[in-house]
Structures are given as structure tokens and as C-alpha cells.
Amino acid sequence: MTQMHQDFPYEQRRVDHIHEEIKQKELKIAAKTSHLKQDVIELRKTFWDDVTVNLDEPDDVIETEASIKQQAELLTQKETIHGSLAKELRTLNRLKDNPYFGRIDFTEDGEEKESIYIGIASLMDSAEDNFLIYDWRAPISSLYYDYALGSASYQTLDGDVSGEISLKRQFIIRNGVIKAMFDTGLTIGDQLLQEALGNNASTTMKSIVATIQKEQNKIIRNEKSKLLVVQGVAGSGKTSAALQRIAYLMYRYRKQLNPENVMLFSPNPLFSSYIRNVLPELGEENVRQTTFYYFVEEKTGEEFSIESPFTQMEYMLTNKGTTDGQIRMQGIAYKSSLAFKEVIDNYVACLYISGVCFKPVVFRNQVIISNEAIANYFYSLDSSVSLFNRMELVANWLLKELALIQKREVSKDWVEEKIELLDKEAYAKAYYKAQKQAAGSVVDEEMILRKAVVSKMFARIKKRIKQYAFVDVPKTFAQLFKHQEQQKDLPTEWNDIAAQTIKNIQSNILGWEDAAPYAYFKGKLLGDMADRSVRYLVIDEAQDFSAFQFAYIKELFPHTRMTLLGDVNQAIYNPISKQNPLLLDEKNDVERITLTKSYRPTKQLVQFTRHFAPGKDVIEPFEREGNKPKLVDVKEENQLVEVLINEVQELFQKGYETIALVTKSIQESKQLYKTLKGKIDCILVDEETYTFTKGILIIPVYLAKGIEFDAVVIPDATNKHYTKEDQILFYTACTRAMHELSIMVTGEPTAFIKETPKNTYQMTEI
């Protein structure tokens, strides 16, 4: 027990000392901040008083610019210092209640023993000579995560440092008081993990720096691999490790990296909300974060309404038995493959000779440059020039043609009618322009007005031409599906797949399976510059990216270091195949890390779910005890709602704060919500839900991915509802639970339960 530990008084005195040091630092910084704030406010007020403004002569203009620049630089400097001090205050505030979580006593070869205390940020003593606390990301802190007692080493910029660890101690400190303290020979003691994992689920993901495991630390501190692939079983902490990895990289390369250089693809907006606090908790700004859906939507432009991956999933779940559904599912499988990317590449190669569709340039409802004329000019250019370079040449040609047409339009009668509709402001602008141009000569004010009117009307057309709006990308893309004779090894239902696709394109709709192919095609046609600003890209739930989507990402970020994280057992959108990004056989600059231990759920939950995990990976439970999953067999279907409500209320009485009723589809979620509304206080989570809240949540499994709940209830686990094809969905639903899992059936249970040993769950008949 902590109270019996002989070093407890010493360690508490040290925490008290740290607390006092922090208070003194806060007082000093607060005084500086207050003084600086007043300086900034005063400088903003008197900015122009201290600037010499004289625009009479060229030399005076230069002097004025220099004066403004000098004053602006002074203001920026003070604002930067003020921001830096404010950030330091926030760090001290975070350290005050929980200054550190670990201690190691390390004796470097040939040196004296040093006690190293590790927390979420560094803290120096008042003389700024010695570290009272080391940041968990500092090189020396890796000893805490990677080694037990005995010989150990860590890497620095100057090389390896070797020595010996003689003590490893872990703390649980709350509000400046040591609540628990244990010495261990292990990497991270089970006691600390038990304390962290035994709590209720939160509405936001928490930092795991105090409980990082050795295999997670390997992910976090990896700096060499161009492509790091992490296959982690459900609850293995892969997402947490990825976020700590971003924090580590921001710390390690602070002078080279800023938040704009790091991008994170998360599975959905709800998940983005769930993880939004992790980096700020660690003292880092949130990096660029988006979903692949929003990313592709921006690439495709405004020409189409794009189906979301969730809507596609819903379609697949509810249209399995229909002819259209079967055709589309074949199309989804093929369009997700690298074979389809090759088809597009071959088609693009053909467009160098012929086939690109163009739109005419229209002015006042009349064609002024026909699409045929544009096509003729395009294909008159050297065929060795790339498509997108030719587009630039066509745009320049069109702008020159427009300039000639614009001149002719100035003298036409319609312009006079437009002039009569001008407001006073437009007249005034024309008058002042005339005066400026006159310089003692006579100027035709009407002609100036005419030019102004025509110029304004042509400006919009010119802007559209610079955006390559003269290219009919959708029509050109649709032609791909009309020339089957040019394609090889197409699926047997290709004609039907093509017909479905063309119909959607003509309706300005892109199915999710067509979104990335269209964006890729558009980039090949019009040009899509590789993004060199992103130096690190992290893709979470990477198992749900198709081979096509991942290939597209690699083309857009050719020089970017990537981290892929996921679990092939949860490949809801992209069933396990050799083309899954987590399984692609890439040998160059690729490092693979497999996480087999599941920390989130209790031992009993893992022992139950691993029997129907779709993949073949070993899944090891963490030794945290809990109740076995409960299988509730409701004999009378009309009693199901009452039993469900009782089950939820029982879980609430146990103190659980987030209880998820995980359904197979949004259609099922909506029906269940309609049934339970008014009987219990519940929240329907759908695609438009951007914030994760506590309570009773009704949520489809594909939105619950990556999120943990105190308890999960599966309302319908019958064999007719979860068929053999739904193994991944059922496994994912069950593995969302941290502490309790209740499964309802009103008939024959799904085959996955029947294949599971009966001693891994408890059966209740009602």
C-alpha cells in the first residue's frame, strides 16, 4: 500500500516542492504577461502615431513603408512573446495538479546516479539549471517505456547513451497529492493501467502518456520509416499511440514542423470530435484533420453531389437481395481495385489523341467560342505535351480570343442599355477614372462607361476559363464507361455497372466508389499538384481505404512520410483482401508493427470476441477482470423493448455513463430510437452528429468504430439479422465495449455466438 511505502513522505514533499516552484513561476510569468499585454494594447492604439507617413516623393514613400514595417515588426515581436508566455502558463497549470507519473533512477556509464521524473511537459528549477521534470518525449524518457530494471540505453543526436536503471517508480497524483505509488520491474506496471482502464469511458479520448507500452512507444518514436503500418487488434491503443506520435514529432522537430505540415485522416466527424483534446492536453496545437470524404469532395469540385461512405454502407446493408444491389456491389469491388486504376490510366493515355469533351464559351446566351473550336485547338497542339499543360495553353488562347471579342462588344447597342441601369457609384468611378486619364485632354466618359460595363461582364467568364471550366470533365469521365472494347479483364456485369454509373453521372451524383476515381481522373486531366506541405500523414482506420484510394493518396503525397493504423478484423468497408492497405506487399521503406494485446476491454470480453474475429491474428487480453458478456434470450418478441429498457437501466445503476445500443444500420437505429423515445432518455447518433456526448446512445456500428463505451447493448443478434456475411460488423459492434456487453436475441442467435464456447458468456432466458 502507498501509505506503507518508506519513500512516501519524501515523494510527497517533492510534489509539494514542485507545486511551490510552479506557483512562483506562474507569478513571475503572470507579471511579465500583464506588462506585455499593456504594451501590445498601447502599441496597437498608437501604431499610426509612431509611423512617419509622407507620400509626396518616391523617397518619402520608401521611408513610409520602412517605418510601417518597423512598427509592425515590433508589434509582432511583442505579440509572439506574449503568446509564448501564455502557452507556458497553460503548461504550468497542467503540471500543477499532476506534475509527473513516473520516476527512473538511471546511472549513465561513468557518471553518478540521477533520479529522472517524467511528466507531460518539462520543468526546470528556479535557476534554470536542472530538470525537475522531463517531458515524456525527451530522449532520456524512452528508458521509462522501453526497459525494465538493469542495463538500458537511449538515443540522442550525439549517439547512444548506456547505463543502468536501478529503480522504476510509478505515481498516481491528483490535485498535488500522491494517491498511489508503486515500484516495479516491469515496463509500465499493471496497477497504473488498471487504474486508467477501470474508469468510465470519456466523451473525448485521453492522453495515454502515463501508460504507454513498449510496443506503442516503438510506434510513437519511429522516425526512419517512410511508411509505418500498424495492425492493431481492437482496444490495442493504436489511435492513442498515433496521436502521441504526432505530439512526439511536433516536439522532436519543433523548428521544422508546424501544425500545417501534419495531416490526419479520421474516419468520421464524430471521431474527430472524440480525439480533438488529445494534442492540446499535451501542449500541442491540433494538426490539419479531415475525413477522406471531405478531402475528396474538395478535389471533385461542385459538379457532383457525392455519396458518403456511410450512405454507401447503408445501401449495401439494405439492398443485398436486389438485382441493382448485386450489380452495384460488383461495381464497388472492381472500382476499389488497382485494376480499375489501370483502366483509367489507359483511358487517359487515349485522350492524348482524341476524346476530351469541351464546353462552349457562352456570352449573353450566345456561343462565342464553340466546343468544336476549342477541341480543334487542343488537338492541334503537340501530342507529346501533357494534357494539363495543354489545358493551360488552351486557357491562354481563349483569354486572347476573349480580349478581341470584348473589344468588339464595347460599341454594341446592348451596352448602352446596361449603362442606363448603372448606379451613382459606378458613374462616379467612371468619372474619376476619366479625370485621371484626361491630364488636360478630352476623354469620352461614355466610352469609359462602356468599357467598364463590358469588362465587368467578361471578368466572370475569364475567371471561369482560368479555372478550366471549358473542359467537360464529367462527360469525358462518363465516356470511360462507354468504350468497353478498349478495356480488358472487366467483371462479367460490366455493362450493367457502366449503365448504373452513367445514369448517376448524368444525374450529377457520384457514388462513393466513384468519388476517388473521378478525383484521380480529374487530376490527370486538369493537373493536380502533389502536396509538398504535408510532411507527415496519419491515416486512422486505414483498413477501410480501398487499394485505389490508397494509391491515389500516395500520388498526391509522394514525398510524405505516412503512418497507417487499423485492424483488418474491422474492415467494414473493405473486406479482408490482399489489396487492403494494411496488407499490401510493399517492401521499400516499410515497417510493420503488430499490436496483439487488447487493453480497452476486460479479459472476459476479449475471451468472448476473439473466437469470431475475422482475421487470424492472435488477440491477447489484458488482465483486467470483469463480467462475462450476457446473452439475453427473449422468448416473446413483444417483450424485447421492456427487456432492453431494463437492461439499460441496470447498466446505469452500475454507474456507467456511456451506454451504446449498437445497431447494424442507421435504418435500424432510427426504428429503435422511434420505439424507445419517450420511454427512456436516449440520443440518436447519425452521420450529422459531430459531438460525442454521455448518455444512452443509439448508433450504427460503422459510426461507432474507433470509439469506446462503458457498456454496449446489441439489440438484435439473431441469425437472420447477423448472417455469415456480417462477421466484421458483429465483431466490431461487440468490441466497442470497455466493461459490459449485453446481446439480445429473440430466436436463433447468430452463428458467431454458436461457434463461441459457452463458458465465455452467461446465458439468461426471459
Question: By the 8 A CB rule, do 315 and 325 touch?
Answer: yes
Q: Confirm or deny that 238 is annotated as ligand binding.
A: yes
Question: By the 8 A CB rule, do 260 and 533 touch?
Answer: yes
Place of cell 468519388: 515
Torsion angles phi and psi, residue 717, rounded to 5: -115, 35
Question: By the 8 A CB rule, do 713 and 698 touch?
Answer: no
Sign of CA dihedral 612, 615, 621, 626: negative
* Residue 108 CB partners (closer than 8 Å, separation 6+): 114, 161, 162, 163
Beta bridge partners of 598: 621
How far is residue 179's CA from residue 173's CA, in Å, rounded to a whole number? 6
Q: How many other C-beta atoms can be found within 10 angstroms of the C-beta atom of residue 478?
A: 18
Q: Confirm or deny that 185 is annotated as ligand binding.
A: no
- Quick one: CA torsion of 373, 376, 380, 381, rounded to 10 degrees? 70
* Residue 427 CB partners (closer than 8 Å, separation 6+): 449
State the helix-helix crossing angle for 512-526 and 494-506, rounded to 10 degrees: 70
3-state secondary structure (DSSP) of residue 241: helix
How far is residue 604's CA from residue 501's CA, in Å, rounded to a whole number? 47
How far is residue 516's CA from residue 292's CA, in Å, rounded to a whole number? 9
Q: Confirm or deny that 538 is annotated as ligand binding.
A: no
* Residue 441 CB partners (closer than 8 Å, separation 6+): none
Question: By the 8 A CB rule, do 27 and 96 touch?
Answer: no
Question: By the 8 A CB rule, do 738 and 601 touch?
Answer: yes
Question: By the 8 A CB rule, do 241 and 275 touch?
Answer: no
Helices (H) and strands (E) in the chain, counts: 27, 26
Q: Confirm or deny that 706 is annotated as ligand binding.
A: no
Nearest Cα to 143, choosing from 156, 125, 130, 132? 156
Going by DSSP bridges, is the β-strand pair 536-539/262-265 parallel, antiparallel, or unpaired?
parallel
Q: Confirm or deny that 355 is annotated as ligand binding.
A: no
Cell reading at 135: 517531458
Q: Confirm or deny that 241 is annotated as ligand binding.
A: no
3-state secondary structure (DSSP) of residue 678: coil
Name the strand (E) or helix (H) holding 595: strand 590-595
Question: By the 8 A CB rule, do 525 and 471 touch?
Answer: yes
How far is residue 680's CA from residue 646's CA, in Å, rounded to a whole number? 10
Q: Confirm or deny that 233 is annotated as ligand binding.
A: yes
Q: Confirm or deny that 72 is annotated as ligand binding.
A: no
How far is residue 468's CA from residue 387's CA, in Å, rounded to a whole number? 12
Q: How far apart are the first and last CA of the chain?
A: 44
Name the strand (E) or helix (H) holding 696: strand 695-700
Cell reading at 409: 462588344
Place of cell 515500484: 183
Residues annotated in a binding site for ATP: 232-239
Residues annotated in a binding site: 232-239
